[in-house]
Amino acid sequence: MASGHRDIDPRRKPRQVRAELTRDRILTAAAHVFSEHGYAAGTTNRIAERARVSIGSLYQYFPNKDAVLAELMVRHIDRGTWTPADQLDLSPGTLESVVRALVRDAIDNHRDDPRLLRIMIEEGQLSAELRETITRHGEQRVAQVRDVFARHPDVDVRDLDAAVDLVVFTVELNTHRLAAFQQPVAMETFENELVDMVTRYLRGPGR
Chain centroid to Cα 143, Å, comes to 17
Nearest residue (CB) to a copy of itself, 38 versus 80: 38
Four-point Cα dihedral 185, 198, 107, 87, nearest 10:
170
DSSP 17-62: HHHHHHHHHHHHHHHHHHHHHHHHHS-HHHHHHHTTS-HHHHHHH-
Nearest residue (CB) to DNA, 46 versus 152: 46
Q: Which of 89, 136, 169, 187 binds a copy of itself (CB under 8 A)?
A: 169
Q: Can you give the C-alpha Rg of the chain in angstroms?
A: 20
Per CB under 8 A, 22 contacts a copy of itself? no
x-or-dash string of contact with a copy of itself, 149-168, rule CB under 8 A: ---------xx-xxx-xx--
Per CB under 8 A, 131 contacts a copy of itself? no
In the complex, what is the shortest distance from the CB of residue 72 to a copy of itself, in angstroms, rounded to a whole number? 18
- Distance, CA of 145 to CA of 158 (rounded, Å): 16
Which residues are at the interface with DNA (CB under 7 A)?
Answer: 1-2, 4-5, 12-19, 21-22, 40-45, 52-57, 59-60, 63-66
Nearest residue (CB) to DNA, 99 versus 130: 130
